Amino acid sequence: MASRVAALILLGLLCAGLAAAQVPKDCCLSIRQEKLNPKNIVSYSIQEEGDGCQISASVFVNKHGKKLCVAHPKDFPWAQKIMNLVDKRKPASQ
């Protein structure tokens, strides 16, 4: 009886661990090709393919909080230029 209870507890813990590991990630599913106005961009992040997402991309956030998915900076140098401008605007303490 005790071994059945232990087995059920172990099974429950395994299921809970697997469910927690499959938390959906907010990924870009496609990218836009047109350039963005750097004045409207307040932050960015880089999405890597295989890190829970289907494609690599640069994710820019504009003044209104909208996420804009564009090509990865290794593919589009202008994306890296916008990232550099955003970094220059940040205070040194960040």
Judged against a pLDDT cut of 70, whether residue 17 lies above it is answered with no
Distance of CA 39 to the CA centre of its chain: 22
Judged against a pLDDT cut of 90, whether residue 42 lies above it is answered with yes
Q: Distance between CA 72 and CA 33 in Å, rounded?
A: 11
What are the residue boundaries of the structural domains of the chain, listed by start? 26-89
Confidence class of residue 30 from pLDDT cuts 50, 70 and 90? very high
Give the bridge partners for 67, in sequence order.
61
pTM of model > 0.85: no
Architecture per CATH, domain 26-89, reads as Beta Barrel (2.40)
Confidence class of residue 53 from pLDDT cuts 50, 70 and 90? very high
Q: In this structure, what DSSP letter does residue 39 have?
A: G
Judged against a pLDDT cut of 60, whether residue 87 lies above it is answered with yes
Q: What is the pLDDT of residue 4?
A: 75
Tell me the residue type at 34: E
Q: What is the pLDDT of residue 34?
A: 85
Confidence class of residue 82 from pLDDT cuts 50, 70 and 90? very high
Q: List phi, psi (to 5°) of 42.
A: -110, -25
